[in-house]
Copies of this chain bind each other. A is one copy, B any other.
Amino acid sequence: MHLARGEKNWIIPDGYIPPTSAGSLESHESVCVLNVSSEEALLNFTIYFEDREPIEDILVVVPPRRTKHIRTSSLAKEGTSIPVGVPYAIEVRSDIPIFVQYSRLDATQAENALMSVVAYPVK
């Protein structure tokens, strides 16, 4: 029996899906979640924008003792997903403590660029 560790609420202020890809890799972002516990984690995403209302209650499950690297382009609510080329921000809430890191691969040019941050934990 493995207990949950981490935090239940994480923030990523700088979200952006690059609109184009020029090299052999595709531009994308990943929200990388680790659930070290023996229980399933139920995640609830809120997506904030600069000029419109947030998209709320996008649900994702992370199985026990597993990681899940979630493509932000896969996040959708009733057919509405995150538009490319638009600045946005991500909030992740979970019913049990988890860990969250955010990474972006930008392949706008033929050669790729990478950035990554551990998300900010709200305690």
Contact = CB atoms under 8 A, between A and B. Distances in A.
Interface of A: 5-6, 9, 11-16, 23-25, 30, 32-34, 36, 48-51, 53-54, 65-69, 87-89, 91, 99-101, 103-106, 108-122
Contact of A111 (B33, B34, B50, B111): B111
A117 B114 contact: no
A48 B23 contact: no
Number of copies: 4
Given A11-B99, A34-B13, A116 B113 contact: no
A87 B69 contact: yes
Nearest to A54: B65
Contacts of A30: 14, 87
Contacts of A12: 101
21 contacts: A5-B9, A6-B120, A6-B122, A13-B33, A14-B101, A14-B116, A23-B109, A24-B108, A32-B87, A34-B48, A36-B48, A49-B66, A67-B88, A104-B116, A106-B112, A108-B112, A109-B111, A113-B113, A114-B114, A117-B117, A118-B119
